[in-house]
Structure 1
Amino acid sequence: MHILKTSLFAAGILGLSLAAAGCSSSNANGGHQKAKALTVVFLPGDSAKEAGPARTALANEIHKATGKKVEVKTTTDYNVAIQAISSGKAQIALMGPDSYIQAHKQNAAVEPILTYSGKSGTLKDAQYHSYIMVPKDKANQYKVNGKYSLDKIKGQKMSFVSNTSTSGFAIPAGAIQTSFKLKNKDDLQQSGKFFSKVLFGGSHQGSAVNLLKGDADVAAFDDMDLVSYGKFTNDSTKAGADFKINANAPAPFNSVRGKESIALAAYPVQNEPIAVNAKMLSKTDTKKIIKALTSSRIAKDKKFFAPSTAKVHSLLPKDGDTQFIAISDKWYAPTHKVLGE
């Protein structure tokens, strides 16, 4: 799930301030009262201006399901979103798998309640892809024995998304660590170590722009956060995938329209969850939200799910029978294992 992600937009404000929505008080039994107003926090990639209607649509559905006031909280930093949901200042979050796992690690009350399916309408293909990309006009320089390879990326200028991004750091950095048999990922985050320079785009969009503007030689980003701005011209699931920015792409891609990048490698990633802080959101409200968002009505709503070719910027990409499906932390066992968390 994502961060795209270079600007802060206050969108879909339906209720009280973040502070008011996030506060709690002790009851007579020493526990915590559930939040009377709710805040939904989004990662930078889902905080872009054009995603405003989609964020508002999610807030509206949560409001209708629970009857509570709902506020949207956008961010320009992954850690802000992670801290918001783990601390209870936000009660609901749309997060990438790694961001969720980091929040869950900080507070076990943070639990996933929903993810979105793949084309089949099931969890069998509920995944997107993380890429290590280079500019198309320089892609042949990275071939070894006629095949795209990571072998020549050492010493280059590298752009990641954020060190708490699943598909924008954890997965690609793990692949680089394995490929070069590094002891850990620490050197990959520091300029002058493995890479001559390391940039963090702050969002998948930002990382892609770093690459296409020439500020980076190599970049990591995912497909689900970019398909609203461009398209793959061939098989997007493997090395050699060619991603081209649309001729009418909005900011931050307006300065790199028509430019293309080639994947040196592509890695599957489990779809992102909608997570809640169970200490701050009642089980009753959680069930109401799950019931509302797993309805066929939501699956057909283009503000929630729309094809990459649609004019509307949806909350999540639509392919075939994509829909929300209820899950628990158990479903993310593979990602827990990959990340060692």
Structure 2
Amino acid sequence: MELNLNRRQFVAAGTVAAMGAMAGLAGCSSNDSKTDAKTDAKTDGKKVEAPEKLVFAWEPGASEGKYENMRDLIAEAMAEGAGVPCEPMTTTDYNVCIEAVNSGKAHYASLGAKEYVELHKKNPAVEVAWVLSDGEGKLNQVSYHSQILVLDENADKYKKGDSYELTQDAMKGKNMSWVELSSTSGYVIPSIALATEFGISDSEELGESGKFFNTVLFGGSHVNSIYNVLIGDADFCACDDTGAANNYNVVEGENGELGALYEIKSGLEAPLDKYAGVKLRCVSSLPVPAVPFVVNTDYVPEDMNKKVVDYMCSDAVSGNKELFKDPKDKDTVTKWKQTTGKVTFTPADDPYYDDFRKLIGEE
């Protein structure tokens, strides 16, 4: 069974944020798997009981119907590692996903880097558990890219020589589609980069209609951000080059690379189903740290979390072709590709995001 929550349902359920003030952990456990616990030195000796079932919350982009098999396989893998069942939770709002793991309604979650950094600052009990590795199977500061796309027929307006460059004159007064204010690749990084390049002191101006852009739209997902350009409501759209890539074929260049040309796939679900063959050009590309898979350590004992992380970072998971698919596989829908034979999940900790914190002013 898969849980599904939207913002109204979550609030109506009366869930209250658990803003833990802990900063360090000290563990202890018994031999009974149902009573395994750890002691938190910052919460008056509070013991964390091992849950009889785990819940994994997915952000809206990964909550789409086409990712159901991926979510189920991740839940099965986590259950294998933890020794207890795991249930996926889908959400329709980033804030619901954040609140789910913050409050303990979900034990684990997939968040954007910005969501994690901000949540960890408020609640240090929410920590990074693992992230996606680079092509060599190692932890890398650059995991994927934030893109700005335009219709290819308009791309020459943003070309300088043999490359592409977004200038203040070319963008000001146009219409922009972001993903969400909290989306790392769909708003945070590109808006900060553009504000810095254009000398705009407050990057939030780029998220409001009538300021820098004439109209600002928020798609709510990377797919819907692209859709806003396809239907002509936006001149530009921000999206990632991972999940969004399931909706297009790369015609020229490399996925996520400046200047890459994409073509919308045929046979997609709404809202892109009517736009097969339409071409989009990548006119901006920025590096992004890996997406964090996080755990709320107030609700998962240290020893259980270690077992989960060890299994999620094992060959059993990275070798599953339904999770880490062959790049030539056109049918399997998942967020990860086995491009080198070495791509895997890898353990990470909070300092991994220190450079990102500096970028977004959350030091």
| Structure-2-length-normalised TM-score | 0.83
Paired residue for 2:350?
329
Number of paired residues? 327
| Corresponding position of 1:6 | none
Of stretches 166-175 and 60-69 in structure 1, the one that deviates more from structure 2 is 60-69
Aligned-partner residue type, residue 257 of structure 1: A
CA distance in 2, matches of 1:130, 1:105: 24
In the TM superposition, residue 90 of structure 1 has moved relative to its aligned partner by 1.3
Of residues 97, 101, 117, the one that matches 1:85 is 101
* Aligned residue type for 1:110: V
Tell me if structure 1 keeps the 8 A contact 2:15–2:103. Answer: no
Distance in 2 (alpha carbons) for counterparts of 1:29 and 1:77: 34
What secondary structure does 1:50 align onto?
A: helix
Question: Alpha-carbon deviation of 1:300?
Answer: 0.8
Aligned residue runs from structure 1 range 183-332, under 5 A: 183-233=201-251, 234-310=253-329, 311-320=331-340, 321-332=342-353
Counterpart contact for 1:20–1:37, Cα < 8 Å: no
Q: Which stretches in structure 2 are left out of the alignment for 5+ residues?
A: 5-9, 19-38
CA shift, 1:80, in A, is 1.3
CA spacing shift, 1:144–1:65, aligned 2, 3 Å: closer
Asked if structure 2 preserves the Cα contact closer than 8 Å seen for 1:97 and 1:272, the reply is: yes
Larger Rg: 2
- Choose 140-149 or 273-282, whichever is displaced more: 140-149
Of residues 168-177 and 230-239 in structure 1, the stretch that sits farther from structure 2 once superposed is 230-239
Work out the CA distance in 1 between the residues paired with 2:156 and 2:61. Answer: 30
* Residue 183 of structure 2 is aligned to residue 165 of structure 1: yes
Which of 191, 194, 204 is matched with 1:176 structurally?
A: 194
Q: How does 1:58-97 map to 2 (within 5 A)?
A: 58-97=74-113
Give me the TM-score of the superposition, normalised by structure 1.
0.88
Task: Give the aligned partner of residue 171 of structure 2.
Answer: 153
Distance in 1 separating the partners of 2:141 and 2:353: 14
The root-mean-square deviation of aligned C-alpha atoms, in Å, is: 2.6
Provide the C-alpha distance between the structure 2 equivalents of 1:334 and 1:203, rounded to a whole number of angstroms: 25
**Matches of 1:187 and 1:309 in 2, distance apart?**
41
State the match for 1:135 in structure 2.
151
Change (3 A) 1:121 1:245: same
Q: How far apart are residue 104 of structure 1 and its match?
A: 1.1
Partner of 1:117: 133
What is the rounded CA distance, in whole Å, between the counterparts of 1:21 and 1:83 in structure 2? 8
> How big is the shift at 1:52?
0.4
Q: Percent identity?
A: 32
What's the offset of the Cα at 1:29? 6.3
Report SS of the residue matched to 2:243.
coil
- Deviation digits for residues 83-123 of structure 1, max 9, x if unmatched? 21122221101122122112212211111111111222222
CA distance in 2, matches of 1:41, 1:211: 29
CA apart distance, 1:59: 1.1
Q: Which amino acid aligns with 2:123?
A: N
Match for residue 340 of structure 1?
Answer: 361
Specify whether residues 270 and 69 from structure 1 end up closer, same or farther in structure 2 by C-alpha distance, changes over 3 A only: same
SS at match of 1:228: helix
1:156 counterpart letter in structure 2: K
> 1:11: how far off?
3.4
